[in-house]
Amino acid sequence: MKRILLGSALGLLLATVLALALALQGQALLPPAAEVQSGDVARAKDFLKRNDPRRVEGNPQRLVTISEADLNLLLGQAALYSHAGAAQLRLHPGLADLRLSLLVPKLGLWLNVQARLRETGRLPEFEHVKVGRLPLPAWLANWVLRAALLRLPPEQDVQFAKDLIRHIGFGEQYAQVKYQWQADSMARVMALVWPAPEQQRALAYHQALAQVAAAYPVYAHVSLARLLPPLFDLARQRAKGDVTLMAAENRAAILTLALHASGKSWAILMPAARAWEPVRPLVVTLAGRDDFPQHFLISAVLAIEGGGPLSDAIGVYKEVADSRGGSGFSFNDIAADRAGTRFGLLAKTSPAKLQVAMSTGLQERDFMPDVADLPEFLSAAQFAQRYGTVESEGYKAQMAEIEARLDGLKLWR
């Protein structure tokens, strides 16, 4: 009996080792995703505007069509953000071919997945799956997927998706999602995005900013350098040396300041904040201007939430849009965007360093370069005549000058 048990155990061990050897590979199946471009941002903005569920009255079903290119852009940015690898979809009538490369960090090996999903009455199912060189039965892959969904924390996320999505279908280079937007859907979305601990964290920084703002007259002009230290001092106290908490506290502090500098409050993001005592309105300034703090802080938020490349692309997109009928293309706005992106990435990836730097009393010149001599208010025609496109050598030289100025500042050394 012991020999039978030992033989079975050894057989299982060998089967596991063999399966891992077949599943794991030394190279990724897919190259890293390309960084998002300003044109992608324009397309995404138009898509969100056309498909905003808040504009729908009553309780209707909606059908959203998403192109294969846009889906792959989303997958690519998610992979870049999570540092997990890369993913790619190819869509055909009733079918979706998925390729996925996931890095296994401790082993330095890749989990490469090739799968075909088949459209069904509601949600797609696997038709066949191959992990590395190891084929998996479709029934097993579908069972694993269902089991994983049941165990994903928190359970209300999965339940909300089930209640919302009615059908996912595939066409030639496009997908369609039919969903049921209900009366409580927005409240459920906000509850998922801002769970109770996040709401409590936001309230702490809202109250801290209210206390700071109370020392100034209404609509007083106040430098961002005067508002950052007290909020980051609170971040340091609340984190208590925990690096994970430091990043979360930094994020909440920056979000609070970004909302206030833009004339908004937490109430636009979370319904519970509507009951909070309002903060005395201030005009937040940077280099004597009230637009720079918005560029700086919004770019910092984007860097925290979506990574630096996304923030850069949105900054360039806005300036290009401005040159076509807005305030004009401004390299000094781009400099504020780039400074904010660096600030956000530092808050996220080196949170302790930023908190220590804030405790030493940073001045504006320590994190925002002098931009008074940079070209601004360029119309589309002026920009085209002077620089051509954002891919030109002249434009790249101007951007390199901005980066050089940032490199010389105290916070980035």
- Determine the average pLDDT of the residues in 311-332: 59
231 has pLDDT over 90:
yes
Check residue 11 and give its pLDDT.
53
Of the pLDDT bands very low, low, confident and very high (cuts 50, 70, 90), residue 133 is confident
- Determine the average pLDDT of the residues in 104-130: 87
Q: Are 330 and 292 in contact (CB under 8 A)?
A: no
Structure tokens at 347: 């808050």
CA distance 202 to 248: 10
Check residue 195 and give its pLDDT.
80
- CA 400 to chain centroid: 25
Q: Are 227 and 209 in contact (CB under 8 A)?
A: yes
Check residue 48 and give its pLDDT.
63
Of the pLDDT bands very low, low, confident and very high (cuts 50, 70, 90), residue 118 is very high
Of the pLDDT bands very low, low, confident and very high (cuts 50, 70, 90), residue 110 is confident
- Determine the average pLDDT of the residues in 311-335: 63
Check residue 239 and give its pLDDT.
94
Check residue 317 and give its pLDDT.
46
Would you tell me the crossing angle of helices 155-164 and 185-193 to the nearest 10 degrees?
150
| % of the chain residues with pLDDT over 90 | 36
Please tell me which of 88-92, 215-219, 357-361 the model is most confident about, judged by mean pLDDT.
Answer: 215-219
Q: Residues 365-413: pLDDT tens digits?
A: 999 999 999 888 888 888 888 888 888 898 889 999 999 999 999 998 8
> Where are the alpha helices (H) located in 262-379, listed in sequence order?
292-306, 308-323, 331-349, 351-359
- Determine the average pLDDT of the residues in 103-118: 86
Higher pLDDT, 133 or 281: 281
Short-list 36, 73, 39, CA closest to 321? 39
- Determine the average pLDDT of the residues in 65-93: 81
Of the pLDDT bands very low, low, confident and very high (cuts 50, 70, 90), residue 177 is confident
- Determine the average pLDDT of the residues in 14-29: 68
Report domain extents, the chain: 25-185, 194-412
CA distance 301 to 280: 22
Residue partners of 306: CB distance under 8 A and separation at least 6? 77, 81
Weakest-pLDDT range from 83-97, 98-112, 132-146, 315-329? 315-329
Higher pLDDT, 259 or 54: 259
Check residue 97 and give its pLDDT.
94
Check residue 319 and give its pLDDT.
46
